[in-house]
């Protein structure tokens, strides 16, 4: 049920001290209470925080809280942009090819990786659009011309190789494609505008913060029982993963997402947390590439539940 604007602006602004630095934010109390029963106790109950009009949220980072504020006021939020990581070899390549450098600069769309935490009014509209069906997966004509090695999904190489494969091989590979189709076809009941994430096209584009901004918001929403925000964050993360080109250099981005997801959600008996399910489903689709990474192997050793869940997803490729 929607909340009226007159009720929002008539309510008292409530103060939140967020993160280890206790960054000060204010949000209308009625809006906070409308979105979260748990938070409504803080802002409109009989606790000390309600009496003082201020609550401390040390375990939430400020950018996650800003995105919650964006969602509370508009029903949507702005995701982080990728960080651009240039090592010496990439710099040497771009400096020797001015045309490519100009092209890359335009493609990378370098911007601040987070919305301005000082301004909850930074509520730029999210571009409307749907995922297209071309699935070029960031492989440009320039990439092909240069012979760049790219792992292009959804497994166009695997599908092509089925033509000459034997019946048994076709069964295994077709199950892998089915698992990917299931991942790409995931749907979440949301009311926000359709979301078109930006495709990565260069190995230097670090998507760790892009992935984690959605995962952190899910964890926040899960803690404070904001079901609609949980679904929205899962939807945006799934759409982003669905068009992510998994370069060898970017496997660490996925590893960090998986580590965070399993370290900040609870083990459940007989079921699996929705964020864990999403990331482990993706991992099962691309496990051939992940398993070559020492980071991923270390992750499997560190988090036993992750390894067990991955085996469960992998069994779907063997049935």
In sequence order, what DSSP letters do the residues of 120-149 get, joined into one string? TT--PPPPP----S---TT--HHHHHHT--
Burial of 237 (0-12, 13-18, 19+ CB in 10 A): buried
Q: H or E segment at 23?
A: strand 23-28
Task: Give the strand pairing for 54-57 and 13-18.
Answer: parallel
Q: Which residues contact 304 (CB under 8 A, 6 or more apart)?
A: none
Q: Are residues 61 and 132 in the same domain?
A: no
Mean pLDDT to the nearest integer, 35-45 = 89
Q: Which residue has the higher pLDDT, 90 or 308?
A: 308
Q: H or E segment at 18?
A: strand 13-18
> Is 166 a member of any domain?
yes
Q: Are residues 168 and 309 in the same domain?
A: yes
Q: Are residues 69 and 212 in the same domain?
A: no
Q: What is the pLDDT of residue 132?
A: 34
Q: Which residue has the higher pLDDT, 163 or 78?
A: 78
Per the structure, the count of domains in the chain is: 2
Boundary-marking domain end, from 74, 89, 109: 74
Q: Are residues 209 and 64 in the same domain?
A: no
Q: What is the mean pLDDT of the chain?
A: 79
Boundary-marking domain end, from 50, 74, 98: 74
Give the distance from CA 216 to its chain's centroid.
Answer: 9
Q: Are residues 154 and 295 in the same domain?
A: yes
**Of 79, 63, 68, the residue nearest 127 (C-alpha):** 79
User: pTM for this one?
Assistant: 0.76
Q: Are residues 58 and 201 in the same domain?
A: no
Q: Are residues 266 and 158 in the same domain?
A: yes
Q: H or E segment at 217?
A: helix 208-223
pLDDT for 137-195, tens place per residue? 333 444 444 444 444 444 444 444 444 455 555 555 578 888 999 999 988 888 777 88
Q: Are residues 176 and 68 in the same domain?
A: no
> Is 84 a member of any domain?
no
DSSP-derived secondary structure letter, 113: S
Structural domain of 36 = 8-74
Q: How far apart are the first and last CA of the chain?
A: 43
Q: Are residues 17 and 141 in the same domain?
A: no
Q: Are residues 46 and 143 in the same domain?
A: no
Dihedral of alpha carbons 236, 239, 242, 247, sign: negative
> Is 110 a member of any domain?
no
């Amino acid at each position: 049920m929607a909340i009226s604007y007159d009720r929002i602006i008539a309510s008292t602004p409530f103060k939140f001290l967020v993160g280890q630095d206790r960054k000060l934010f204010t949000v209308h109390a009625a809006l906070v209470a409308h979105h979260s029963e748990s938070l409504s106790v803080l802002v409109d109950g009989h606790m000390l925080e309600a009496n003082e009009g201020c609550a401390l949220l040390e375990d939430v980072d400020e950018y996650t809280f800003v995105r919650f504020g964006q969602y509370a006021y508009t029903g949507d939020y702005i995701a982080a942009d990728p960080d651009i990581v240039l090592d010496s070899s990439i710099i040497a390549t771009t400096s020797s090819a001015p045309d490519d450098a100009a092209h890359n600069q335009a493609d990378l769309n370098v911007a601040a990786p987070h919305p301005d935490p000082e301004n909850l009014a930074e509520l730029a509209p999210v571009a409307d659009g749907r995922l297209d069906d071309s699935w070029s997966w960031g492989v440009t004509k320039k990439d092909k011309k240069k012979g760049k090695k790219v792992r292009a999904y959804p497994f166009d190489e695997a599908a092509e190789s089925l033509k000459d494969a034997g019946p048994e091989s076709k069964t295994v590979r077709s199950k892998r494609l089915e698992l990917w189709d299931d991942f790409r076809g995931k749907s979440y009941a949301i009311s926000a505008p359709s979301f078109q994430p930006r495709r990565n096209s260069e190995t230097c584009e670090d998507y760790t913060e892009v992935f984690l901004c959605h995962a952190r918001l899910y964890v926040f929403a899960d803690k404070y029982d904001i079901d609609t925000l949980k679904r929205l964050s899962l939807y945006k993360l799934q759409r982003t993963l669905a068009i992510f080109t998994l370069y060898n250099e970017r496997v660490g981005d996925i590893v960090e997402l998986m580590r965070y997801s399993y370290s900040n959600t609870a083990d459940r008996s007989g079921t699996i947390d929705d964020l864990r399910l999403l990331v482990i489903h993706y991992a099962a689709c691309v496990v051939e590439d992940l398993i070559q990474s020492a980071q991923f192997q270390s992750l499997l050793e560190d988090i036993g539940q992750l390894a067990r869940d991955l085996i469960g997803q992998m069994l779907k490729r063997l049935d």
